[in-house]
Amino acid sequence: MNILITGSKGQLGLELENLGHQFPNLKLFCTDKFSLDILNFEEAEQYVFKNKIDAIVNCAAYTDVNKAENEFEMADEVNHIAVRNLGLIAKKHQIKLIHISTDYVFDGNSEIPYKETDATNPQNAYGISKLNGEKALLEIDPKNSIIIRTSWLYSAFGNNFVKTMLKLGKEKESISVVADQIGSPTHARDLAMAILQIIPKISSDGLQVYHYANKGQCSWFQFASAIMKIAQRNCEVLPIPSSAFKTKAKRPKYSLLNTDKIAQAFNLKIPDWEEALRECVSKLEVKY
């Protein structure tokens, strides 16, 4: 199968490229915004046609949550208009599409893990732009296509919370981290592995929505504490409420995702978040 990866320079895209060699039946075509403009329908369609693409994995996204408050148009172009283009191309050429979405489509007022069927109600511009992309795909409803919502993504690549904490753990004696936002960190490598495993198995009459995050739950404070402990940093992590850490965009208080559906549909074993974190930190220790 010929697989087009968009946004291949992001955390998830780089993990997919890194794991590709383990899947000899899949040939990955890795692109970024400089090598393929998915906002240009004709250009994207031509690329798919020319390279005989069988499936698209859309990792391209505008992900700066705070900046999106002032740059909604730009966020919506990437998270909505480009997604609609890929949906139309997938439907027209009868190819598979995997689109990556986010826990931020929910409002965070739940007390139990969100299921795929729960009502969406984003609380910030980023979440609205991502939901617009989901709605566009649901309207197009391409066959053999799925949306995967994920949360708190980190990896050995790119900029993320884990790398920031490892850096601060060396520089500071103590740091304060929000303790009243609950979710599950997701190692991008685990999500990438799941995507590459399920691509050949995807078979549905219309679009399906799934959730994928590492098992278990924690607050950002607990996440930071675990990073320091695994990396054996002597930096004290202090819990603070969200009200003490002002950000431009509102964050959901609770965004834990129920992952039963994807685990059962594709027979996936999803690693626990602490186990996944240990694996990532051991890789990063050399650099940090």
Task: Considering the candidates 47, 104, 114, 126, report the single residue annotated as catalytic.
Answer: 126
Contact 104, 122 (CB under 8 A): yes
Measured CA to CA, the distance from residue 288 to residue 285 in angstroms comes to 5
Question: 126 an active-site residue?
Answer: yes
Which residue has 């890795």 as its token pair? 30
Q: Which amino acid is at 250?
A: K
Q: Evaluate the CA torsion angle 189, 191, 193, 199 in order and state its sign.
A: negative
Measured CA to CA, the distance from residue 161 to residue 226 in angstroms comes to 12
Any idea which residues carry the catalytic annotation?
126
